[in-house]
Structure formats: C-alpha cells, structure tokens
C-alpha cells in the first residue's frame, strides 16, 4: 500500500519535511510529488489534490482519503498503521508528545518568522530578538521535559516519534542560524543533523539546486553545518 505526498522545495519547506518524515521515518511507502514554492502554478497544483487543500504537505491514501495538514497526516497514519509507532506507547508520554506537536503546529511564531528554514546555507551573525529568545527558552523547557520521560535513545521520548518529525525543522533552524540553546537541546539538535533521513532530504534539495532569494537574510553565509 503506497501513499502519495505533495511537497514543496526540500531546501525551504519545513512543513513538507514534517510530512515526509511522518512516512519515511516509519517505513510507510510513499510516492513524492513536487509543487515548487513561489511558482505561478503552485496554487493550481495543490488544488488538484483536493478543493480544500491550500498548501503543502498534502497526502493521499490509496483508498482516496486526502489529508491537507501535517497533523492530519500524523493522526491519519497513526490510525492506519498503529504498529508503526508514530506516538509513544506509554499513555503519559503519548499525551505529552501530542501536546508538543500541537504547540509546534500553532506556536513559535517569532522563531519561525525570523528564521525561515534554509538547508542551503547557514547565516553568520544573526541576532535573535527577545521574542525569538523567549521561543528558544520555551523549547529548552519542552524538550527537557520530554527527555525526562525518555528511555534509551536520542529522541524526545527515546524512540523516534511524530514529535521528532515536527521539531526537526526547528533543529535545522537552530543549527543554521547559530541560535543559543542549552546543552541538552544542542545534543537533540545534533541528533537531527546526524539523522540519515535529514541527510537524504537535504541531498535531494541540493541536487535540485533551486535557490529562493525570498528567504535571504542580510547576513554573511557559511556552509550549512551538517556533521
């Protein structure tokens, strides 16, 4: 059973990365389709998948069901594939994971606005605002709380879960903008940078070699810090 997933540019589309990880990190077969961001045909291509689809990622199940949002994808796949492990098995940890995903989906506006995901370069000399620093402090708290529930393993709840898929683009932002986080959070960021799927995703974006200058910062650049 193979699903279909519509994504935007891998180098920049953080929500697309989340959607793709919800398949790839849990060994669920998926065919990937591209709608290039800021292309004249982007809106029309997304609308072909569903009249209510407004952006990427959008996913289609073999039976015809369409999920037009990343949380819908996470819950739909967890329902269809309960053995895959999208959510922690422990009910207390599972509740926390869902809470963290919901906060990621609706929060951290200052960080996401000031630091768009960009896997093509890193930025030197970025000065975070007080609002961005507040978001980073909140991340330190959330990640520390989740790790306190974890068993063995580098991820928020020990084993990789949907929560890690949702926070992967935040880890990329922290690395790419040199943002200040505590030591435990830095180790979690490093786990994402070393993750083979993040490497695969970035390599595919680099191979496409499409630069979107709308995401440029007025700062010196450096190579993105993959280990």
Q: Domain span at residue 59?
A: 3-80
Long-range contacts of 180-187 (CB under 8 A, 24+ apart): 180/128, 180/133, 180/136, 181/136, 181/139, 181/140, 182/140, 182/144, 184/140, 184/143, 184/144, 184/147, 185/139, 185/140, 185/143, 185/144, 187/154
Q: What is the pLDDT of residues 77-133, one digit of tens each?
A: 999 999 999 999 999 999 999 999 999 999 999 999 999 999 999 999 999 999 999
pLDDT band at residue 227 under the 50/70/90 scheme: confident
Q: Indicate whether 41 belongs to any domain.
A: yes
Q: Say if residue 172's pLDDT is above 90.
A: yes
Q: What is the pLDDT of residues 177-213, one digit of tens each?
A: 999 999 999 999 999 999 999 999 999 999 999 999 9
- Any idea what the CATH number is for the domain that residue 142 is in? 1.20.1050.10
Q: Indicate whether 207 belongs to any domain.
A: no
Examine the domain organization and report whether 68 and 101 are in the same domain: no
Q: Indicate whether 135 belongs to any domain.
A: yes
Q: What is the pLDDT of residues 45-71, one digit of tens each?
A: 999 999 999 999 999 999 999 999 999
Examine the domain organization and report whether 67 and 108 are in the same domain: no
Examine the domain organization and report whether 192 and 98 are in the same domain: yes
Examine the domain organization and report whether 71 and 112 are in the same domain: no
Split into its structural domains, the chain has a count of 2
Examine the domain organization and report whether 192 and 97 are in the same domain: yes
Q: What is the pLDDT of residues 18-52, one digit of tens each?
A: 999 999 999 999 999 999 999 999 999 999 999 99
pLDDT band at residue 152 under the 50/70/90 scheme: confident
Q: Indicate whether 179 belongs to any domain.
A: yes
Examine the domain organization and report whether 76 and 175 are in the same domain: no
């Amino acid at each position: 059973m193979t699903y279909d997933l519509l994504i935007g540019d891998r180098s920049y589309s953080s929500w697309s990365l989340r959607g793709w990880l919800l398949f790839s990190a849990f060994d669920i077969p998926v065919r990937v389709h591209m709608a290039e961001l800021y292309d004249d045909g982007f809106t029309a291509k997304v609308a072909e998948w569903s009249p209510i689809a407004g952006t990427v990622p959008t996913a289609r199940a073999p039976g015809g069901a369409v999920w037009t949002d990343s949380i819908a994808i996470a819950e739909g796949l967890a329902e269809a594939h309960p053995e895959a492990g999208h959510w922690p098995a422990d009910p207390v940890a599972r509740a926390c994971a869902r809470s963290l995903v919901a906060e990621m989906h609706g929060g951290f506006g200052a960080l996401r606005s000031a630091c768009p995901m960009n896997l093509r370069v890193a930025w030197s000399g970025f000065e975070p605002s007080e609002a961005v620093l507040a978001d980073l402090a909140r991340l330190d708290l959330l990640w520390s709380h989740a790790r306190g529930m974890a068993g063995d393993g580098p991820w928020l709840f020990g084993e990789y879960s949907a929560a890690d898929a949702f926070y992967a683009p935040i880890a990329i932002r922290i690395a790419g903008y040199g943002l200040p986080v505590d030591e435990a959070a830095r180790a979690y960021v490093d786990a994402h940078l070393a993750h083979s799927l993040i490497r695969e995703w970035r390599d595919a974006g680099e191979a496409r070699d499409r630069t979107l200058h709308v995401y440029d910062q007025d700062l010196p650049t450096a190579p993105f810090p993959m280990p």
